[in-house]
Amino acid sequence: MAQPVDATLTDVGEFGLIAELVALFEQGEQVLIGPGDDAAVLRIRNGHVVVSSDLMVEGRHFRRDWASAEDVGHRAAAQNLSDINAMGGVAHSLTIGLAAPGDLPAQWALDFARGFAAECALVGASVVGGDLTRADQVVVAVTVMGACTEAPVVRSGAAAGDVLALTGRQGWAAGGLAVLGRGFRSPRVLVEAYRRPAPPYPAGRVAAEAGATAMIDISDGLLAEAGHLAERSGVSIDVRRDAFDLAEPLLAVGAALGVDPMEFVLGGGDDHALLATFGSRAQVPEGWSVIGSVAEGSGVTVDGAAYEGPTGWTHF
């Protein structure tokens, strides 16, 4: 039943909202039992099951005055789908927990669900369940499940002599966040990149099939994520600045804000690009760019030296 445009969550009620949310989520062939029971039941075919969870907290990970409900839905789905991508897999099922104030417009929740569903449709994934409760601010908790037909690509497989490669847009979301943080809305292309990431969804599986030795998605910052690969693999990683062609919008924002635009690329997150290591340049698939190298040792350097700028987002 259509709700009045000014209806709040309190007006609609938990089960009324759940009924409207469920209607927005199409179910794929892997779903035997979807939303509406105590738990979903999925059909698992050959391969490995991969599972990940993420939280988004209003005021910490998003602001409603900076992004629409649909934007937040896209972002919440993208960051979870990207985790499966980074394992070399493809997501197929998700659950959502939504906590929100009682006076939140019900339309916000429905628009959030539409954005979430639209992002999931890009990889053919289904929302198979979730939960809804009251809170003082909007909190989104998502669990995603997927499958790897190849062996999962983990963070600990990089070895000395490997090359470091990147695929996907990098630094654009950070540039957009910097713009919003200064009270501006342009360049619009960067603001939209922050509001709606564009993860390279097919690339994870392609990298796994090509023999990637280690892989991670860039959620918190390129150098920070490279640090995770280096630590887990027991190696050192060097990133080359000259491997990047800075896009004009990043150059423009850097000039306007008096910031080196490479900081957006090296320290920025939320684009959900993929960072991977390969045994040789010959293994690097089309669409990936070699941006560095792996050697014996520990830690991450830029052009062979310690980097003094921001390396990524820290949660605490």
Q: Which residues are annotated as a binding site for Mg(2+)?
A: 38, 52-54, 83, 131, 217, 220
Q: What are phi and psi of 16, to 5 degrees?
A: -65, -40
What is the pairing mode between strands 90-100 and 126-134?
parallel
CA-based nearest residue to 166, from 21, 272, 258? 272
CA distance 4 to 8: 9
CB 264 within 8 Å of CB 241: no
CA distance 78 to 116: 8
Annotated binding site for substrate: which residue ranges? Answer: 61, 270, 313
Both tokens of 58, joined, read 């209003």
Burial 183-209 (b: 16+ CB within 10 A, else e): eeeebeebbbbbbbbbbbbebbbbbbe
CA-based nearest residue to 78, from 182, 201, 206? 201
Q: What are phi and psi of 42, to 5 degrees?
A: -120, 150
DSSP 3-state assignment of 80? helix
**How many residues would you count in the chain?**
316
CA distance 11 to 7: 6
Element housing 22 (H / E): helix 14-22
Annotated binding site for ATP: which residue ranges? Answer: 130-131, 155, 219
For the sheet containing 289-295, what is the strand order?
214-217, 274-278, 163-167, 289-295, 236-239, 299-302
CA distance 22 to 5: 19
Annotated binding site: which residue ranges? Answer: 38, 52-54, 61, 83, 130-131, 155, 217, 219-220, 270, 313
